[in-house]
Structure 1
Amino acid sequence: MTNDPGQALARRVLEALARRGESVATAESLTGGLLAARLTDVPGASRSFVGGVVSYATRVKVSALGVPEALVEEHGVISEECAVAMAQGVRTRIGATWGLATTGVAGPDSQEGRPVGTVWVAVAGPERVETALLALSGDRSAVRQASCDEVLSVLEGILDA
């Protein structure tokens, strides 16, 4: 067992998914694969984690995840709308029960007029979508780690409901 709270959270989420016979996929922007790594660090993750897309560039959000260009033009990539489209896109394209998405500003500079630490996370499932707007502090690493914690916490809350 690990003393890392983030790892413990990932383990709890994966165990809950396995008990339910459900799966999860990730669509990551600012976290750059960190969320998928967090999940696959858990032994037995393959029972529930099916894969992910690191869509750091906007064009990859559009081409790989199916985020509509018009949505990006209207709302930007650091938006609730983009996070939802990413989560739904990865869920559908990879074929998972749940899609998780992270998009935001890890720093060092602001983006789309939004300050460092502004992050949207989304969880898309068979019957619902939940989002959270985060205002995180710290350096790039802290913002990225906290983004992973938050999206996993949203999914855990849904699974525990």
Structure 2
Amino acid sequence: MHEHMTYIKANALLDKARAKGLRLASAESCTGGLVAAALTEIPGSSDVFDRGFVTYSNAAKSDMLGVADALLNAHGAVSAEVARAMALGAIDHSLADVAVAVTGVAGPGGGSLEKPVGLVHFACARRDGGVDYVERRYGPLSRAEIRAASVMQALDMMIDAVDAAQRRP
């Protein structure tokens, strides 16, 4: 059921982006490429989806997206600040008009009192300006459930950003 909903949402996103001539990218940590997989599962996505960054380590976030080490050190990878920097970095390092970033604690381990399992930060940047941000606390769901819910949230944010974005001239 979840896969079907993801497919429908991803398909709608691709259709909306295609209609405006927009390209998409993803920058993923805890979802490990599942957002990119959801989009590229759909035939014909190559004219819309530019690239996906799977930046699981802090070094990858820094090397591939230009996330500042100082930001990572000050706030940690699972933070609003790093999610925003990842989304903006994905715009800067791609041809995309809209880029989503996902960073969180998918569990079952790795959580803390301050950053519990199920805490996920999302940011979606538009090349024409604006970064949307959402924090979700999914609670003690399974790793697979947290990741699946995170993909849905990321797709929703991209749909909103594409709706708000200007058509490419």
Partners of 1:96 and 1:141 in 2: CA distance? 28
Gaps of 5+ in 2: 165-169
C-alpha displacement of 1:139: 0.4
Q: Could you tell me which residue of structure 1 aligns to residue 60 of structure 2?
A: 60
Distance in 2 of aligned mates of 1:154 and 1:60? 23
- 2:167 match: none
> Contact 2:98 / 2:162 at 8 angstroms: preserved in 1?
no
Partner of 1:127: 129
Contact 1:109 1:115 in 2 (8 A): no
Give 1:42 deviation, angstroms: 1.0
The number of aligned residues is 160
- Aligned with 1:4: secondary structure? helix
Partner in structure 1 of residue 88 of structure 2: 88
What residue number does 2:22 align with? 22
- Correspondence for 2:145: 142
SS in 1 for 2:93: helix
The gaps in structure 1 that reach 5 residues or longer are none
Give 1:143 shift: 0.5
Runs of 4+ in structure 1 off by over 4 angstroms are none
1:114 is matched with: 115
Q: Which residue of 2 aligns with 1:13?
A: 13
The alignment's C-alpha RMSD in Å is 1.5
Deviation of residue 91 (structure 1)? 1.2
**In the alignment, structure 1 residue 99 sits paired with structure 2 residue 99:** yes
Tell me the distance in 2 between the aligned counterparts of 1:72 and 1:111. Answer: 17
Please give the alpha-carbon distance, in whole angstroms, between the structure 2 residues aligned to 1:19 and 1:140: 35
Query: After alignment, is 76-85 or 3-12 more displaced?
Result: 3-12
Report the residue type matching 2:92 in the other structure: T
**TM-score w.r.t. structure 2 length?**
0.90
